[in-house]
A and B are shown apart, each in its own frame.
Chain A
Amino acid sequence: MRPTPRTVADLVIVAALAAYAIPFFWQLLTSFKPEAELLRIPPLLPSHLTLAHYRVVLEQSLMPRALANSLGIATLTTVAALVVGLPGAYAVARRPVPGKRWLLLAIVASTAFPQIATVSPLYLLMRALDLRDTWTGLVLVHASFALPLTVWLLAGFIREIPIEAEEAAAVDGAGLAKTFRWVVVPLLAPGLASTALLTFLFSWNEFLFAYTFTVSEASRTIPVALALFPGVFEVPWGDIAAASMLASLPPVLIVVALQRFLVRGLVAGAVKE
């Protein structure tokens, strides 16, 4: 069967976008290249693939510890932002709160907050509370920084739920806690997933706060460890490539497996007004 012009056009577009991702794939290839061939191109392709760089990164660097820190901090940040943000979002969407207009304005404004604006006071606060270089400190600043967007997104998703479901539950005598548990949360599940993904990614990728408030491997997250990746005599490009791939593992998994939720959250964040 001969390919139709349409199929060819589709293939060209996919190929063009695959080419767009070359920076990532090139680093992926580099992470498996033998050390001796790194600085010698052409040829573009290595003579053989090796796991040596991953072995160095996993056995001799602080990356495994940073991975654990990032996983823990991003997970706790997500949980904290949702636990605090969900009731707030519900109130914004469904309850007549005095001064709501101003509150919404404050929430929108704080999504635009530049991190540099609060980093110096937060640094003093962390030092005063002895929270520097701890998971707790970083989870607190990450969760509070992500909170406005969390509330914003969740409020939008809650408004999409038909209010009749909640009213029916209320008529049946369910209190707020029961309504939440049996009506709101199940109907909100996809929206919760989108919001959680974006919060997780924010915390995983965040650099400025993490770089400032961490001192040692006790709390250094993966972007910080990657930025500070040590080279003794020369830059270990292969090891850095392997470390970069580890740092992008969760984002890549999310993009591949949970694309639908990600796109929904992204679009909702921009469009809901």
Chain B
Amino acid sequence: MTRREAADRRQGMLLLAPTAVALGALTVYPAAWVLWLSLQHRVPIFGVSRFAGLDNFAFLTIDARFWSAAHTTAVFTVASVALEVVLGVAAALAINAQRRGRAVALSFLLLAWAMPAVVAAKLFEWLYHPVAGLINVALGRHALNWLGDPGIALAAVTLADVWRTMPFVAILCYARLLAIPADLYEAAQVDGAGRLATLTRITLPLLGRILLLAVLFRTLDALRAFDIMFVLTGGGPANTTETLTVYAYRALFQTLQLGFGSALSVVVFVLVMGVAWAYLRILRTGSVAA
């Protein structure tokens, strides 16, 4: 190694030091700590604090509320991501087909995306109002109790989340569409491909990789979803909108079971990391055309 290279290395490490310290202290260290907490019985208000081994995790396997939360998380994730992909691709194709007014059209989408989740929750709480909500009025006053009826509350929460997050999928797809060279479409036209054939043979395959990435990001977000249901329904009615993260949060800060709540957090953590790892494997094997 030359002196120049050694100096560059030293400089690089020096420049990275603040980042490493910050991430170490406020992300890695807490992540290790939460593992340790999850192995304990810790209920500060009763002065309980002792090592419990894997007791918390063993309890989870027979905890009906845990399985209910896992089920809710799965349904919420699959439904919201599927809706986002369908609507997002449709919106991207629509904007891409526009000749004028693209920036205005994009603004409406970005407006929804940029809202804080808490604001989105408040917007939908008002739309779902049993008497004066725009949705019930539009439905001809069927007076559905969207957020209070255990049969439909999860669907209501899912819709609110899709509204705010679909634009993310749409914008990524739209950016990819912009990068498709025009001569590809001209060639297809020359070959006599119709609109449908162009869509299914050229446009959608080219969206493949970016869609997979968008699905990855959206899945990770949906798996750890918290704000929207915490504010809209608080996990109710009858825990039908309680996701794993909401359950973990309530265990940690409402019933103050630091150990058990941490065990739930660890489950979310492992789940999210596992999904991220699996997706990255799929992306790296290159089975999806760029």
Interface residues of A (CB under 8 A from B): 6-7, 9-11, 13-14, 16-18, 20-24, 26-27, 30, 38-42, 84-85, 87-88, 90-92, 94-98, 103, 106-107, 109-110, 112-125, 140-141, 143-145, 147-148, 151, 176, 201, 204-205, 207-208, 212, 222-224, 226-227, 237, 240-241, 244, 247-248, 251-252, 254-256, 259, 262-263, 266-267, 270-271
Q: Separation in Å of the A155 CB from the closest CB of chain B?
A: 11
- Cβ contacts A to B, 29 pairs, < 8 Å: A14-B104, A17-B108, A20-B163, A30-B126, A84-B18, A88-B15, A90-B15, A95-B8, A96-B9, A113-B269, A116-B268, A117-B268, A117-B269, A117-B272, A118-B31, A140-B26, A144-B22, A151-B19, A205-B118, A208-B226, A208-B249, A223-B117, A237-B126, A244-B119, A248-B114, A259-B103, A259-B107, A267-B175, A271-B210
- The dominant DSSP class at the A interface is helix
Q: From A18, A121, A248, A270, name the one whose CB has the most chain B CB atoms within 10 angstroms.
A: A121
**B19 engages A247 (CB within 8 Å):** no
8 A Cβ contacts from B19-37 to A: 19-20, 22-23, 25-31, 33-34, 37
Pick the residue among A90, A125, A208 that contacts B227 (CB under 8 A).
Answer: A208
Q: Does B91 contact A (CB under 8 A)?
A: yes
Pick the residue among A10, A95, A270 that contacts B11 (CB under 8 A).
Answer: A95
Pick the residue among B18, B134, B231, B268 that contacts A227 (CB under 8 A).
Answer: B231
**A248 engages B116 (CB within 8 Å):** yes
Docked pose: A20 CA to B167 CA in angstroms: 10
**A207 engages B116 (CB within 8 Å):** yes
Q: Does B39 contact A (CB under 8 A)?
A: no
Q: Does B171 contact A (CB under 8 A)?
A: yes
Known: A23-B124, A119-B252. 18 other contacts (CB 8 A): A10-B101, A11-B101, A17-B109, A21-B111, A95-B8, A114-B269, A116-B268, A121-B33, A123-B253, A226-B118, A251-B114, A255-B111, A255-B114, A256-B107, A259-B110, A263-B106, A263-B175, A270-B210
